[in-house]
Amino acid sequence: MDHTLQKQLATQNAIQNAKIDEQSKQIAEMAAMMKQMIAGQLIPTQQQLPTTGPITVNNGPVTQQQVNNTGPVTTQHINTQINIIQPWDGEKRISVTAEMIAEAFTENPRLIEYCKMNDTEKTNPEGAGPYVLEALLALTRRAHKDPASRNIYLSPKRADQVMVCLIDGSWEVRSLEEATRMMFEGVAKEIKQVVRTTSEREKLSLQVQGSASYIPMMYEDEPDRYVALAKKPVSAHLTNTAPALKNKK
């Protein structure tokens, strides 16, 4: 009986190890592609851009309890998770945290100036417009600092189009105007979420709380205006985050 159990266990382990080897190989290939993209060795195309995540491999433990009380035989437990790209059509196409807001409003000279204005100045459509646009752009840039959050690239074919990464791993072409609007809507939504959540709002000074809370309101009053004004700076931002740019250095 011991011999039979050991043979069954050996067969089971062999199958399990083969699966682990194959999944590890796939993970290594995807990780290598992502590393090349970040290093600027690949130019993103619909075929080459990495897929969305997370991809999880969770194998084991595989245990066979022997009836002769010699004890359990257990293979190594493997739990590997790789987050590739935050999908454009997921729950959050762009993530803005309280920490990002605090940094933007205390490090960006224009936003520091905005914080010093009175409420009337902060809500004046003409005078406050450039500061509101700066806040939207500054938070978009901070949100894209992590390569895994870069779910949008300029199209290599047309300057007025972008490619966005979807949940199913495919890349879809959108207009730059539409994508800018959706990013700014996401930033505005994230700011509102932070200022409405006590635990998150408390991470901001009272001055930053008061200033940041005006950004969504001002944007939502004139979204077309801010999207139009943001065309060139957003295009420049997406150019700066393109992996291929580093090849020219």
Task: Describe the strand order of the beta sheet including 161-165 as a list of residue ranges.
Answer: 152-154, 161-165, 171-175
Where do the structural domains in the chain lie, given as residue ranges? 2-82, 98-248
Range in 1-10, 55-64, 82-91, 216-225 with the lowest mean pLDDT: 55-64
Residue 28 has a pLDDT of: 57
Q: How deeply is 92 buried, as exposed, middle or buried, from its count of CB atoms within 10 A (0-12, 13-18, 19+)?
A: middle
Region of residue 40 (phi > 0: left; psi between -120 and 50: alpha; otherwise: beta): left
Confidence of residue 84 (pLDDT cuts 50, 70, 90): confident
pLDDT (0 to 100) of residue 237? 96
In this structure, what token pair is assigned to residue 37?
């993209």
From 109, 107, 51, select the one nearest 83 (Cα to Cα): 51
Helix (H) or strand (E) holding 249: none
pLDDT higher than 60, residue 85:
yes
Nearest to 238 by CA among 134, 160, 185: 160
The helix-helix angle for 176-196 and 125-143 (nearest 10°) equals 90
pLDDT tens per residue across span 170-193: 999 999 999 999 999 999 999 999
pTM value is: 0.69
User: Which uninterrupted H or E stretch holds 242?
Assistant: none
Helix and strand counts by DSSP (H, E) for the chain: 11, 7
Distances (CA, A) of 24 to 35, 46, 74, 170: 16, 24, 20, 22
- Tell me the pLDDT band of 54, cut-offs 50, 70 and 90: very low
Residue 6 is predicted with a pLDDT of: 60
